[in-house]
């Protein structure tokens, strides 16, 4: 059978995102232009037709002419990597010649309407189809598959958005105020506009109502009449079971009478002359717009409403089941191309309004009407860049654009395969978060975050693809010829539109599937026969998550030979799809399939076979060896921690200037690996090292997941990493010839620091490469002009006193300057970037984890000579507590210890691919042949006494990851520091030099111990103590009269006032309660 390595490679994993963006460039932008076609302007004899749009990559001017700017330069200079959009506009103007004859002139004009960000490795990207050598020469990573954008120098990725399927009827029950009703809903989409239409049938009540934007609870009967249907035509649309329910809703009104009645309901409050026009616009544009927006489409809309009503009635009659909105056949994933088209549509609409305004302003001011001068491309640029830079999309959605996670190479690949369901994170949404059976093979059940995003943020499996937008005109033409309008046949739909009915649905579906397998119909077209609903549904729309399966009936000798050619690399996997051996199914079509997991389990009843079980997992999940031996929570944790490991995030890290980056100094390839590592070349950029691990309780220093580390192993480079940070400064030019300057600030500069922090600066104010620095040292000396105009000197000029604006190193960091880059921004300002490096050596408190969710912090660093050792003198690098294994059932961890040792002894890598790994029995055999016990246990000796440890110890080689959660980045101390203005309590957080939180549980603990003095010290003396004058008679906070230097009570006017020490936060509470009319009175007693 096939394995992942036979048909997946590093480029195919992002193909669906890049294809989506390429569709946008080829068709998507032009679709938006075609929707508008013309720009209406109120200028007599002047017309603008919108014709063709093209996208042209930018070039920069050099001494030798125009030259493409390297992609790396966009990152360094903090600019957006985008292309110019040029729109061809046909200008038609009518003028009269000197004889009074009207003459029409037509001319095409190319105008730049804005810029669109370029997806890396797309068809218009400069890196597309470059060889590895050329990519390396340009400072790029040859292993990077692309699929992201560069916005203001930052790498950002568009997350796939999980949405309800458009134009699909979903029938559910609704219980509103105790009244049960059946609801048929459809989310109708046309040209990016979404309109929701609902048909409601209450239980035990003879009415059916229709709701859509602009109209609520319109009776079904007279709406159908208003749309042009007669009673007999309506009755023909229903069968014998549902006809009785529809009769009470019908009226004897004519179509015109019903339409006038509808006008009064929809356009109530408007003048009569506008009522009809507004009602027509509402019906044509907001009622089921996917069917059409013309008068001739109204009857088709009425028939579609009848289908919705029939489904709602059948649900109440229990003749059909309730639709599951979480079923993946009712979901679509919106990718980068679709999301950018939506953003472009909104931005282009704003641009056209601005162009119209500018042209009409030129005309009214008697100036020449010039289209080129009327276009302000920044209108569109600002809207698109803002959305991509912040993630705030159209429709009030947020989080769609995210900064690409470059922690490890694995995390960056996984981030680009992520999809998100945009629901409110704080609400439960239990059904939406649950694993659904239809997600099998499409969405990973284990790679999802913990916490509020659990189940809402998901990752596609390695075998899943997303369908493209396909032209359905050929299928429609075919079905129009063979389908009838009989109500007794099976209804046939194409992308939610009724094409007619067919007497033999099974035969129709089988014929269409054969055409798809033969390549006559696109491979990602879905053909479904819903027998329970008596419908045939055909989908060719974008966003359906599909997965490949082998067609069981086509698995003959010829097919097996073709599969063998693919395994032997003589043919491509696409050949199997083109010949019908493999086909892609979405969740709707898979409902009818009976799939065998492996070829061994194939029976005559099966319709399909899984290509390989290992493609049912996501990238991070498939990275875990022997994942099928572990409990699900540990696989989920391991997937998350694999993305937090320190490794090599990209091979181009020496030339990059990322704000933060962690790089492991001596990374190693794991002895136990998976197919995922081989396909995506994770072994070229590993994120861990092979440790010799012993399971042993040691001195009590590895309790509760703590681990003991060999000091000599650390000194030899185990777990050692380098932390890079980039500091940026720019010489900004201001109005009035003012500007920043890079220099060593002089003593007369406002805010001048001590001379010691400037000692590393060169004469131009910039630190030199390979200079050692410590916390708070100045790296870039910079002065800025004063913020405000100061006093005028005796000569009438402003006396300028420059202020300190230097860039200093972080307080808790020290290290060396790795590189210094001076460049010029597009605005002509000088920019400096300082890249620093700091060594990070493992220390007590640092976090480490294996690939099985077995995480722990270093509890002790033991000297080599004191560690236990084997007969061969092997000393473990890490000692782990055996109590971590049983309750967590991470059996894969134990098998890797066997496999890692067996691989070292046998001189090869061990295959740990999920479901297809090397068997445990084989690993034990290798150990036996090499003279070891097949149990993996060995005799160890105490390093301090030399005595033999009584029990045999399980010891082996495990791949461990050092996570980026390090003590040196989290350690925080405070003796005194800033306080909040409102409460006068210490600020919160390490970055703000905040205090350490003393919470309710800490308070309860000290109360339990009776440590009242400590409580007073923590909560009063060292926090927000304040002296408050209190009246001894009435207990109200008194007032201090500063003029008479006297304290008095504002209530009883008594002067018997005493100062009391209380927390300021309590005084604030008393003041806020006083505003509500609640007085807090203090009871005073003599101080003991």
Q: Which residues are catalytic?
A: 705
By C-alpha distance, which of 523, 495, 454 is closest to 168? 495
Residue indicated by tokens 């006017």: 1053
Rounded distance, CA 1041 to CA 157, Å?
62
Angle, CA of 586, 592 and 597, to the nearest 5° = 80
Which strand (E) or helix (H) includes residue 835?
strand 830-840
Which strand (E) or helix (H) includes residue 927?
helix 920-929
By C-alpha distance, which of 240, 230, 641 is closest to 408? 641
Taking the CA atoms of residue 895, residue 896, residue 899 and residue 905 in that order, the dihedral angle to the nearest 10 degrees is: -130
Rounded distance, CA 78 to CA 75, Å?
5
DSSP 719-783: T-EEEEEEEEEE--B-STT-B-EES---TTSBT---GGGGTTB-TTSBBPTT-EE-TT-EEE-EE
What is the bridge-based pairing of β-strands 707-710 and 855-862? parallel
Residue indicated by tokens 């035509």: 233
Q: What are phi and psi of 621, to 5 degrees?
A: -70, -40
Residue indicated by tokens 């023909």: 236
The answer for residues whose C-beta is within 8 angstroms of residue 564's C-beta and 6 or more apart is: none
Which strand (E) or helix (H) includes residue 272?
helix 272-286
Tokens of 861: 């660093």
Q: What is the DSSP letter of 25?
A: I
By C-alpha distance, which of 55, 38, 69 is closest to 340? 55
CB contact at 8 A, 1037 and 1069: no
Q: Quick one: 271 exposed, middle or buried, by C-beta within 10 A (0-12, 13-18, 19+)?
A: exposed
> Strand order of the sheet with strand 102-117?
38-39, 46-57, 82-96, 102-117
By C-alpha distance, which of 963, 961, 965 is closest to 670? 961
Tokens of 976: 């005194």
By C-alpha distance, which of 584, 583, 582 is closest to 560? 582
Rounded distance, CA 501 to CA 487, Å?
7
Q: Quick one: 1038 exposed, middle or buried, by C-beta within 10 A (0-12, 13-18, 19+)?
A: buried
Strand, helix or coil at 820? strand
Residue indicated by tokens 């791949």: 959
Give, to the nearest 10 degrees, the angle between helix 29-36 and helix 336-364. Answer: 40
The answer for residues whose C-beta is within 8 angstroms of residue 765's C-beta and 6 or more apart is: 741, 742, 743, 744, 780, 781, 782
CB contact at 8 A, 554 and 520: no
Rounded distance, CA 631 to CA 175, Å?
39
Strand partners, 551: 608
């Amino acid at each position: 059978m096939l394995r992942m390595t036979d048909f997946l490679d590093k480029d195919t994993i992002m193909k669906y995102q890049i294809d989506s963006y390429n569709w946008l460039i080829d068709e998507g932008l032009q679709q938006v232009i075609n929707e508008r076609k013309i720009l209406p302007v109120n200028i007599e004899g002047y017309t603008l037709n919108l014709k063709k749009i093209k996208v042209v990559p930018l070039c920069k001017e050099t001494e030798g002419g125009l030259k493409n700017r390297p992609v790396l330069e966009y990152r360094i200079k903090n600019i957006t990597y985008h292309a110019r959009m040029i729109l061809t506009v046909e200008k038609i103007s009518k003028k009269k010649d000197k004889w009074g004859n009207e003459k029409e002139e037509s001319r095409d004009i190319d105008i730049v309407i804005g810029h669109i960000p370029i997806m890396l490795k797309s068809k218009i990207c400069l890196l597309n189809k470059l060889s590895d050598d050329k990519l390396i020469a340009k400072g790029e990573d040859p292993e990077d598959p692309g699929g992201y954008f560069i916005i203001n120098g930052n790498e950002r990725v568009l997350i796939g958005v999980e949405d309800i399927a458009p134009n699909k009827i979903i029938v559910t029950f609704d219980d509103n105020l105790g009244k049960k009703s059946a609801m048929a809903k459809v989310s109708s989409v046309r040209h990016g506009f979404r309109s929701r239409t609902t048909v409601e049938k209450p239980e035990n009540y003879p009415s059916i109502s229709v709701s859509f934007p602009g109209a609520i609870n319109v009776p079904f009967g007279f709406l159908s009449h208003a749309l042009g249907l007669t009673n007999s035509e309506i009755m023909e649309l229903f069968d014998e079971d549902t006809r009785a329910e529809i009769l009470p809703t019908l009226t004897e009104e004519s179509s015109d009478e019903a339409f006038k009645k509808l006008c009064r309901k929809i356009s109530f409050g408007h003048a009569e002359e506008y009522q009809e026009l507004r009602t027509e616009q509402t019906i044509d544009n907001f009622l089921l717009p996917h069917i059409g927006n013309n008068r001739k489409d109204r009857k088709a809309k009425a028939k579609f409403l009848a289908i919705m009503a029939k489904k709602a009635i059948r649900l109440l009659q229990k003749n059909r089941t309730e639709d599951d909105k979480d079923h993946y056949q009712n979901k679509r994933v919106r990718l980068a191309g679709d999301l950018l088209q939506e953003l472009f549509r909104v931005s282009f609409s704003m641009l056209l309004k601005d162009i119209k305004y500018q042209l009409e302003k030129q005309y009214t001011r008697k100036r020449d009407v010039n289209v080129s001068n009327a276009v302000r491309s920044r209108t569109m640029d600002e809207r698109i860049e803002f959305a991509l830079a912040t993630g705030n999309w159209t429709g009030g959605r947020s989080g769609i654009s995210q900064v690409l996670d470059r922690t490890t190479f694995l995390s960056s690949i996984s981030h680009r395969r992520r999809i998100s369901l945009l629901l409110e994170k704080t609400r439960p949404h239990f059904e939406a978060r649950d694993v659904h059976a239809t997600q099998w093979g499409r969405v990973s059940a284990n790679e999802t975050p913990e916490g509020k995003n659990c189940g809402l943020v998901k990752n596609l499996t390695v075998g899943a693809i997303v369908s493209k937008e396909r032209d359905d005109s050929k299928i429609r033409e075919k079905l129009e010829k063979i389908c009838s309008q009989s109500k007794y046949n099976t209804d046939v739909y194409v992308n939610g539109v009724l094409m007619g009915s067919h007497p033999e649905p099974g035969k129709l579906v089988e014929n269409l599937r054969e055409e798809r397998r033969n390549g006559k119909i696109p491979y990602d077209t879905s053909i479904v026969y819903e027998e329970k609903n008596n419908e045939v549904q055909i989908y060719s729309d974008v966003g359906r998550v599909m997965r490949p399966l082998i067609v069981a009936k086509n698995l003959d000798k010829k097919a097996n030979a073709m599969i063998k050619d693919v395994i032997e690399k003589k043919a491509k996997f696409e050949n199997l799809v083109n010949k019908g051996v493999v086909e892609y199914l979405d969740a709707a079509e898979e409902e009818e399939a009976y799939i065998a997991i492996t070829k061994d389990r194939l029976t005559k009843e099966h319709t399909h076979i899984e290509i390989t079980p290992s493609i049912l997992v996501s990238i991070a999940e498939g990275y875990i060896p022997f994942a099928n031996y572990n409990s699900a929570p540990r696989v989920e944790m391991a997937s998350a921690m694999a993305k937090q490991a320190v490794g090599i995030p990209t091979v181009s890290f020496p030339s990059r200037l990322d704000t933060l980056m962690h790089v492991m100094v001596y990374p190693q390839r794991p002895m136990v690996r998976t197919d995922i590592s081989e396909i995506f070349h994770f072994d070229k950029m590993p994120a861990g090292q092979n440790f010799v691990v012993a399971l042993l309780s040691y001195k009590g220093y590895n309790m509760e997941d703590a681990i003991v580390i060999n000091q000599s192993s650390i000194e030899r480079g185990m777990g050692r990493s380098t932390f890079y940070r980039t500091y940026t400064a720019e010489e900004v030019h201001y109005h009035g010839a003012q500007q920043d300057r890079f220099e060593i600030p002089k003593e007369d500069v406002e805010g001048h620091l001590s001379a010691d922090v400037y000692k590393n600066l060169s004469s131009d104010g910039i630190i030199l490469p390979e200079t050692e620095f410590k916390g708070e040292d100045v790296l870039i000396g910079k002065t800025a002009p004063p913020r405000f105009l100061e006093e005028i000197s005796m000569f009438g000029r402003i006396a300028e006193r420059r202020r300190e604006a230097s860039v200093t190193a972080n307080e808790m960091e020290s290290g060396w300057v790795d590189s210094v880059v001076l460049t010029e921004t597009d605005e002509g300002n000088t920019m400096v970037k300082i890249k620093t490096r700091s060594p990070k050596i493992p220390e007590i408190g640092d976090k480490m984890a294996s690939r099985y969710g077995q995480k722990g912090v270093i509890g002790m660093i033991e000297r080599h000579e004191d560690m236990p050792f084997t007969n061969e003198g092997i000393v473990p690098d890490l000692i782990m507590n055996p109590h971590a294994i049983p309750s967590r059932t991470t059996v894969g961890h134990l098998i890797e210890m066997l496999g890692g040792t067996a691989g070292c002894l046998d001189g090869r890598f061990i295959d740990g691919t999920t479901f297809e790994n090397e068997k445990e029995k084989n690993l034990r055999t290798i150990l036996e042949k090499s003279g070891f016990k097949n149990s993996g246990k060995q005799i160890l000796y105490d390093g301090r006494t030399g005595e033999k440890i009584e029990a045999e110890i399980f010891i082996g080689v495990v791949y461990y990851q050092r996570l980026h959660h390090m003590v040196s980045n989290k350690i925080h101390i405070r003796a005194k520091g800033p306080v909040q203005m409102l409460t006068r309590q210490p600020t919160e957080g390490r970055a703000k030099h905040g205090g350490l939180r003393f919470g309710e549980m800490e308070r309860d603990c000290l109360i339990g111990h009776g440590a009242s003095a400590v409580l007073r010290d923590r909560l009063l003396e060292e926090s927000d103590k304040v002296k408050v004058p209190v009246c001894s008679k009435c207990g109200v906070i008194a007032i201090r009269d500063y003029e008479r230097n006297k304290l008095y009570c504002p209530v009883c006017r008594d002067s018997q006032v005493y100062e009391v020490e209380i927390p300021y936060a309590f005084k604030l509470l008393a003041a806020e309660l006083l505003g509500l009319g609640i007085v807090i009175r203090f009871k005073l007693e003599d101080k003991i």
